[in-house]
Amino acid sequence: MATGPAPVEHPAPVEYAVAAELYLASLRLGTASRRVYRIALATWAWHLVGRVPPPGRSRRGAAPPVLPLALLDPPDGARRLRDALERRAAGADPRTVGRELSILRGAVTWWRTNGWITGDPLHRLRPPAAAAAAPAAVLGPEHLKAIFRLPAGLREQACWRLVHETAAPIERLLALDVDDLDLVRRRIRAEPAVRWGAGAGRLLPLLVAGRASGPVFLTERRAAAGTPARDRCPVTGRGRLSYRRAAELFTAATAPLDPAGRGWTLRDLRTARRPVAPTG
């Protein structure tokens, strides 16, 4: 989470991108948060000149347009940002737009404090209101059977079974290492009250076969340089699966089964009624 940055003595930058990097350098952010902030500020650069940024992952490697920071000054700054907000709101959900607008607001406030822009181009500019979502469908026994029949990989099915059969905190399960598992007794060694059933009991030994240590649930790719040893498999070099990625995979996989078309969350799976008879 960002802390309030102090003004710096620096010549007024001409380019928006330079001003954005100086703002990021003034914040105390983790690596992941800094990446989110940088992507958000770059996204506004596209919309400020009336262009749509590349979609999805292709945006990460695309150079945003070069534009002068003075575009945010009166008399046109407020109009440009209003138009940019309308364009962004047309292609993103309200929560994303609100987060990105908050990041830009922090940057604009810092730039004004340093005297790099005048006025407040974000005055009275508010993110779009989120539409009321339809109630989520209850995750019932038939849905569970369908979920466990999905053609998902071994990692996903083992994770889903473990979440459902233990009802343990999901973050705790993703933090498990191979040597935490008592596969014979189907329980966590340090927490013997946390037990799983036949579904996870069948899949977990297959998932960790050939590994004596390291995270139980691994990413698809090798861990990035600097990843702590406790979050990296000593055999494959792959990193520990994050909660965010696990949640994304489950929701995407279950969307076709959800009558509302949104998919369920891992927390829905954790709290769904048990037990479920093994399938397949």
132 DSSP assignment: P
**116, two tokens:** 């790099």
Strands (DSSP E) contained in the chain are 181-182, 187-188, 191-195, 218-222, 238-240
Which sign does the torsion angle of CA 171, 177, 182, 183 carry?
positive
- Give the CA-trace dihedral at 191, 279, 241, 63, to 10 degrees: -160
The pLDDT of residue 95 is: 80
Closest C-alpha to 32, from 232, 215, 227 = 227
- Render each residue's pLDDT in the chain as its tens digit; 280 residues: 444 565 555 677 889 999 999 999 998 887 888 888 998 999 999 988 888 777 666 566 678 889 999 999 988 889 999 999 988 888 778 888 888 999 999 999 999 999 999 888 998 888 776 554 455 567 889 999 999 999 999 999 999 999 999 999 999 999 999 999 999 999 999 999 999 999 999 999 999 999 999 999 999 999 988 888 999 999 999 999 998 899 999 999 998 988 878 889 999 999 886 644 444 4
The pLDDT of residue 90 is: 80
DSSP letters spanning 16-46? HHHHHHHHHHTS---HHHHHHHHHHHHHHHH
**223, two tokens:** 């861990």
Beta-carbon count within 10 A of 19 CB: 24
The SS3 assignment for 15 reads strand
The pLDDT of residue 279 is: 44
Give the integer Cα–Cα distance in Å for 45 and 64: 6
Give the integer Cα–Cα distance in Å for 116 and 110: 9
Beta-carbon count within 10 A of 209 CB: 8
Closest C-alpha to 121, from 112, 129, 134 = 112
